[in-house]
Amino acid sequence: MSDLERYLDAASRENTRSSYAKAVKHFEVEGEGLLPATADQVAAYLARFAPSLAISTLRQRVAALSAWHRDHGFPDPTKAPVVRKVLKGIQTLHPSAPRQAAPLQLNLLGQLADFLDEAATLAATRGDLASERRHRRDRALVLVGFWRAFRTDELLRLEVQYLTIVPGQGMTCFLPQSKGDRQAEGMTYRVPALSRWCPVEAMTDWLTISELTSGPVFRSIDVNGEVGSNGLHANSIPRLLRQIFSQAGLASPDQYSGHSLRRGFAQWANAQGWDLKSLMEYVGWKDIASAMRYLDGTDPFAKHRIESALPIPDGTMEPAVEARPPAPMALPPPAVPLVDLEVRLVLSNQRASKSGTGKVRKILVSSFLAPLAAQQVDADGTSFDLSLPDDDLLDETVAELLDDLHRFAGNHHFHLDADVRERSGPRRWE
């Protein structure tokens, strides 16, 4: 592989490359399609597989075909109106509720962690190194995945040399690349040390018994207890977790997947009263829409609210109100100093007409600035106050905000002059 090919390959995530390659192969083999394709061929392919594939899968196939044509210098047929209309029609005629993994509740996390700890201890007493290592690895994977709300691919790309553990205080994990790292600068995640079900303690126990000093943190273990040289594959995680959950006695283990850890933490933190901004920063969501896919209401059918408003029957006690469980151990949001910023937006219509500027500006504010708690400071909506954590992710957060603002404005044929400045310092982003 040449240097050019190596750099091009590094520009995209391995999971994305793999899924796109499979999608293109499906189009060619199963769909009997030819590349480069026409818009009509793509539309016919979608119509053929609409009854058997989910709309999300079809959209991923379209994205893969779009990327293939761009990468090879061909016109993109997926942007044609006929492709968009077919997708809309499939969505209409084949509606389906979004499928999500069940969130792992905190009490079940505790049950799982205690089971794995006891199993590892018992394995050690009988000299079963393979089982002891396996239980220690699984315990670290579950606890770190939950308390840090990692995606599966992030969890599996952790490397020993990028971990810094301070016993009793916490752990930092550096990921050279992650989904939220658009600039590929690497991101550092902080993991808290807790008094119970501690992810830092679990990781320490695993690294000690595995004797790992570098390379992937989570690896396969053979029947003799030998730790593999390569990291676990993402496709193995759902099966591994379901096996663990089944062994620990959790009901319906098949409803869980690797995303259950991330969703479980998000819902627990939301129930504990974390404000949305702190939760988004901790978990790594960039917009409210992403957050809402993870956060279910604590009372989804509003039973508590309805019952409390019902009239009390004569001569009887008050209607029963669903009791809420006591709040378990609360993990406070990380204390990070804030930096005061000024966001400046000057919007102009690239078309002859000047209409629509106010509407586009309103959408820019509500979709991209409001989720960050930005406050408008002038009458015409060109200046905003914004406070963000002054940490390693500040540059990335601001850069992504500007990218989102410019992209939305450009897609609607508006020119945007935008920059972000530090109110009491020299830093500026544009």
Architecture of domain 106-263 in CATH? Orthogonal Bundle (1.10)
pLDDT(334) > 60: no
pLDDT score at 31: 80
In the chain, list all ranges with CATH 3.30.70.1130. Answer: 338-429
**What is the dotted CATH code of the domain comprising 338-429?**
3.30.70.1130
pLDDT(423) > 90: no
pLDDT score at 401: 81
Tell me which residue of 38, 86, 37 sits closest to 58, measured CA to CA. 86
Q: What is the mean pLDDT of residues 182-202?
A: 81
Top-confidence residue, 205 or 306: 205
pLDDT score at 314: 53
In the chain, list all ranges with CATH 1.10.443.10. Answer: 106-263
pTM over the 0.95 mark: no
Q: Write out pLDDT tens, residues 98-109.
A: 566 678 888 888
Q: Write out pLDDT tens, residues 116-133.
A: 999 999 999 998 898 999
Q: What is the mean pLDDT of residues 163-179?
A: 81
Q: Which CATH number fits domain 3-93: 2.40.160.40, 1.10.150.130, 3.30.460.80, 1.20.120.530?
A: 1.10.150.130
pLDDT(49) > 90: no
Q: Write out pLDDT tens, residues 344-367.
A: 888 887 665 556 778 888 888 877
In the chain, list all ranges with CATH 1.10.150.130. Answer: 3-93
Residue count of the chain: 430
Q: What is the mean pLDDT of residues 144-159?
A: 88
pLDDT score at 300: 47
Q: Write out pLDDT tens, residues 50-84.
A: 888 888 788 888 888 888 888 888 888 888 888 88
